[in-house]
């Protein structure tokens, strides 16, 4: 293959992706003087990456298979805009050898490895065979070509339960299931194949022995077309949910210097087996004693910023320079490890409901400044809409410091100062994770989040009545003074008076809790709050996004967002959603019961798992939806009879639509 066609200088780069990674690539490319081209679906017309690029091309409808996964349309977009190169980002087609080959055939530089390298290393099965020949230690497993149920079942029995059924292509936890008994194997394979086919267009499976109490360690590698291959230290990605990484850090706090050199040398050996060119990641699993190769990701990783912060290397810039045909600017012994970095993935999801994705319009987007070692890679802004068609990641928050403890503190402070409204996010969950004592002491494994989920998602302790009520009154006061209150809003009714003395009573609920009442005295003299038998003086000073409150001699900062009768507060005690109880307007809120078997979000019915008339135990699976590229199984809320199913496989259903009816058994 002519290397001049593979690697050459270019001026216009098309980014075949969306969201945060598209924005990330665009920024570095433009800093290098390149012209950038974005692509988008109909759902992403107003997306952030579209606005950042010099040009943008509509690919097609919202579904990824009709837009971001359509190779012909991507190649045509490059042709239309005069793009000479394509950066695939991660996810979508980033590890698709056919796409890399199509770019080459179209005369485009593919910013990544060749199709041959992808085929060899991008397949988990193929890469294991290659590593076995190269002498790299492997987890016991099956990675053969035969994919029939009998072969996979025999392999599972030979390996011994528990096992891991895993998609040979792709990543991100999609198409992956832990199977602890023979009875669970068949449904796990069917579900994993279906999910892998939808996400990657490839439903081949491999089977591995599931390592108990595992830790996930990976090494960043990058090679050029001149034969140079480097490792840039390792990352620890042990904190996961649904086999998707949540928190990543570099370097690994688990390894000592000797272990670090051993695993990095093994990674270079693994990548060297195919003379790898481009950025990639060699992933390992550790049982606390030994380290085993599990796969190679032939692309950039979501967590690459932690490596950038400890090495001072811009990996996207290096990717582009390798694609230009340049040699890597540093040698292995010139790469220095400096400090510690930790990254948190901010998702639109609800951790209290099994990490159910959240969709809707972002009404408030407040993030801290990127100073003091804090970095934020975002793909959304205030006013953007989170759709049900793509991955739910909104942004990544990364903190660097000289030590791990300080890096964690900086990251947690950044999370605490972040306010995103209009959708549900995992921000409070991330903060709870960062402050968990076992995370601080690194006493974790990949099952930690699952085991500790109840603790990590427990409701914040109820705020003291004094602070809660004072904050409510102060917010209302600030809104009135600033003249920003909406017409007919409850916040308009305080009516601050220059003379005389006035009194007004209010009632609020915290979430769906009981009403809490306060009385505000205002006018001439100091303003006070009457809470039960106690009357407390307070003052406020408005500031951007909230106010400073002094209550009973203690000053604190309060962030606030007001939307009609709803009030969001962030205080030193946590985040709170309050509802103003209108004494004249009545309450007309609709409470949807947990027993309703309805679509939690817009999605596609991919499996019906029970028949009408069947008797069901509580928790029995009824049907499966594909939502945001992940499968969600809806289950019986109680024991009973399945009276009816109101959908069929292939139906596209909207949020809230009733899909099945279960009649309780009365037991």
Q: What is the maximum span of the chain, computed from C-alpha positions, in angstroms?
A: 89
Place of tokens 């490596």: 307
* Alpha-carbon gap, residue 94 to 76, rounded angstroms: 18
CB 311 within 8 A of CB 336: yes
- The active-site residue, picked from 299, 375, 410, 570, is 299
Question: What values do phi and psi take at 197, rounded to 5?
Answer: -65, -40
Is residue 404 classed as helix, strand or coil in its secondary structure?
helix
DSSP 392: -
**Measured distance CA(304)–CA(18) in Å, rounded:** 17
- List the one residue out of 496, 520, 498 whose CA is nearest residue 507: 520
Q: Which residues contact 538 (CB under 8 A, 6 or more apart)?
A: 470, 473, 474, 527, 528, 529, 549, 550, 551, 552
73 noted as active-site residue: no
User: What span, in angstroms and rounded, lies between the C-alpha atoms of 652 and 414?
Assistant: 38
Burial class (CB in 10 A: 0-12, 13-18, 19+), 72: exposed
> How far does the chain reach from its first CA to its final CA, in angstroms?
71
> How many angstroms separate the CA atoms of 112 and 87, rounded?
7
Query: Cβ neighbours of residue 434 under 8 Å, at least 6 residues apart?
Result: 247, 342, 344, 408, 411, 412, 415
Residue 635 contacts by C-beta under 8 Å, 6 or more apart in sequence? 619, 620, 621, 622
Q: Which two tokens stand for residue 233?
A: 């230290």
Q: Tokens in use for 502?
A: 């006035």
Quick one: residue 391, left, alpha or beta (phi over 0 = left, psi -120 to 50 = alpha)? beta
Contact 113, 280 (CB under 8 A): yes
- State the burial class of residue 243 (Cβ atoms within 10 Å of its Cβ: 0-12, 13-18, 19+): middle
Q: Secondary structure of 111-141 in the HEC alphabet? A: CCCCHHHHHHHHCHHHHHHHHHHHCCCECCE
Cα separation, 67 vs 416, whole angstroms: 36
- Report the distance separating Cα 161 and Cα 141, nearest Å: 11
Give CA–CA dist 550/544, Å, rounded: 17
Strand-pair category, 621-627 with 244-250: unpaired
Q: What residues are labeled active site?
A: 299
């Amino acid at each position: 293959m002519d290397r001049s066609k593979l690697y050459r200088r270019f001026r216009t780069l098309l980014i075949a992706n969306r969201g945060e990674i598209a924005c990330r690539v665009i920024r570095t490319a433009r800093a290098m003087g390149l012209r950038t081209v974005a692509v988008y679906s109909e759902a992403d017309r107003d997306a952030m990456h579209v606005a950042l690029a010099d040009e943008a091309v509509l690919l097609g409808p919202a579904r990824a298979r009709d837009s971001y996964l359509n190779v012909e349309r991507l190649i045509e977009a490059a042709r239309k805009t005069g793009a000479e190169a394509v950066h695939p980002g991660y996810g979508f087609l980033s590890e698709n050898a056919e796409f890399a080959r199509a770019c080459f055939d179209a005369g485009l530089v593919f910013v990544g490895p060749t199709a041959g390298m992808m085929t060899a290393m991008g397949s988990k099965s193929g890469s294991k065979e290659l590593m076995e020949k190269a002498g790299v230690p492997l987890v016991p497993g099956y990675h053969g070509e035969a994919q029939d149920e009998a072969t996979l079942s025999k392999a599972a029995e030979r390996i011994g339960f528990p096992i891991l059924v895993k998609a040979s292509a792709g990543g991100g936890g999609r198409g992956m299931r832990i199977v602890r008994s023979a009875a669970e194997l068949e449904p796990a394979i069917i579900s994993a194949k279906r999910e892998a086919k939808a996400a990657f267009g490839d439903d081949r499976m491999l089977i591995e022995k599931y390592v108990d109490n595992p830790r996930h360690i990976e090494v960043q590698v990058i090679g050029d077309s001149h034969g140079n291959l480097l490792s840039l230290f390792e990352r620890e990605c042990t904190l996961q949910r649904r086999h998707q990484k949540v928190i990543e850090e570099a370097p690994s706090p688990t390894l000592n210097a000797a272990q670090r050199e051993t695993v990095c040398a093994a990674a270079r050996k693994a990548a060297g087996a195919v003379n790898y060119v481009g950025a990639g990641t060699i992933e390992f699993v550790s049982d606390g004693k030994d380290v085993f190769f599990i796969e190679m990701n032939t692309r950039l990783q979501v967590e690459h910023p932690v490596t950038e912060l400890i090495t001072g290397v811009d990996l996207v810039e290096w990717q582009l320079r390798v694609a230009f045909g340049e040699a890597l600017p540093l040698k292995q012994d010139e790469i220095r490890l400096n400090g510690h970095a930790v990254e948190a993935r901010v998702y639109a999801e609800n951790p209290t409901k099994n990490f159910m994705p959240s969709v809707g319009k972002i009404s408030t987007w407040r993030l801290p400044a990127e100073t003091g070692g804090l970095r934020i890679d975002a793909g959304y802004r205030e006013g953007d809409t989170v759709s049900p068609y793509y991955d739910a990641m909104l942004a990544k928050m990364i903190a660097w410091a000289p030590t791990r403890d300080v890096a964690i503190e900086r990251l947690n402070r950044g999370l605490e100062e972040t306010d995103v409204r209009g959708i549900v996010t995992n921000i409070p969950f991330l903060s709870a994770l960062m402050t968990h004592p076992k995370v601080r002491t690194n006493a974790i494994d990949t099952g930690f989040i699952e085991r500790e989920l109840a603790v990590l998602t427990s409701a914040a302790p109820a705020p003291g009545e004094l602070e809660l009520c004072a904050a409510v009154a102060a917010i209302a006061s600030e809104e009135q003074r600033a003249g920003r209150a909406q017409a007919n809003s409850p916040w308009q009714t305080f009516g601050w008076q220059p003379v005389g003395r006035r009194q007004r009573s209010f009632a609020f609920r915290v979430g769906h809790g009981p009403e809490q009442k306060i009385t505000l005295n205002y006018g001439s003299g100091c303003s006070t709050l009457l809470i039960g038998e106690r009357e407390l003086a307070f003052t406020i000073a408005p500031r951007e996004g909230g106010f400073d409150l002094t209550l009973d001699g203690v000053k604190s900062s309060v962030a606030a967002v007001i939307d009609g009768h709803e009030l969001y507060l962030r205080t030193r005690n946590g985040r709170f959603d309050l509802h103003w109880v209108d004494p004249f307007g009545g309450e007309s809120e609709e409470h949807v019961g947990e027993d309703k078997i309805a679509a939690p979000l817009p999605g596609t019915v991919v499996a019906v798992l029970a028949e009408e008339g069947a008797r069901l135990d509580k928790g029995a699976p009824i049907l499966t939806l594909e939502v945001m590229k992940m499968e969600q199984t809806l289950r019986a809320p109680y024991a009973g009879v399945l009276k009816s199913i109101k959908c069929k496989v292939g139906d596209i259903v909207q949020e809230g639509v009733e899909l099945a009816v279960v009649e309780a058994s009365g037991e």
